[in-house]
Structures are given as structure tokens and as C-alpha cells.
Amino acid sequence: MYKLTGFGWKNVLPAFGPDIVPSYMNGYGYSLWVVYAVWVGIILLVYPICLKFDKYKQAHKEKWWLSYL
């Protein structure tokens, strides 16, 4: 993950504390719109799976252990 953004894993370790960002870390990470797009993509991918599992749980109420999932 760190290599994709052009930084090594050693550069990610906090050397100066949580409030101070070293100058070599400028530009690290992804834009906010990329984070939102990935988040929406994951939700859209998982939602149909959750619906299918919910239907399975409703159809198989005799399986008591499903209530713990």
C-alpha cells in the first residue's frame, strides 16, 4: 500500500508525534474523493450479500446459532 503512493513503510512511522507531520510526508495518502469512491464501492458490493444473508436468516429461524451472526 505504501509503495503505491511512492513512500516506503519506514516513512509512515510517526517520528515526531501525532500532531506534527514531517515535510517528507506531504502528499501521502489519497484524495478525499478517492476514499469516498472506495467506500461507496465497498458498500455497493457488500449490500446484496447482506440482503441475501438476511433472507436466509429469516427463512431458517430454526437455526438458533444464526442469531449470533
* Digit-coded pLDDT (tens) for 4-56: 666 666 666 655 555 666 666 666 677 899 999 999 999 999 999 999 999 99
pTM score, whole prediction: 0.56
Q: What is the pLDDT of residue 2?
A: 61
Cell of 20: 506534527
Distance CA 1, CA 62 (A): 44
Q: Angle CA(37)–CA(43)–CA(12) in degrees, nearest 5?
A: 55
Kindly report the CA angle at 8 between 31 and 5, in degrees rounded to 5?
25
pLDDT value, residue 53 = 94
pLDDT at 54: 92
**Does residue 66 register a pLDDT over 60?**
yes
CA distances from 65 to 27, 56, 61 (A): 47, 13, 9
Q: Which residue has the higher pLDDT, 26 or 63?
A: 63
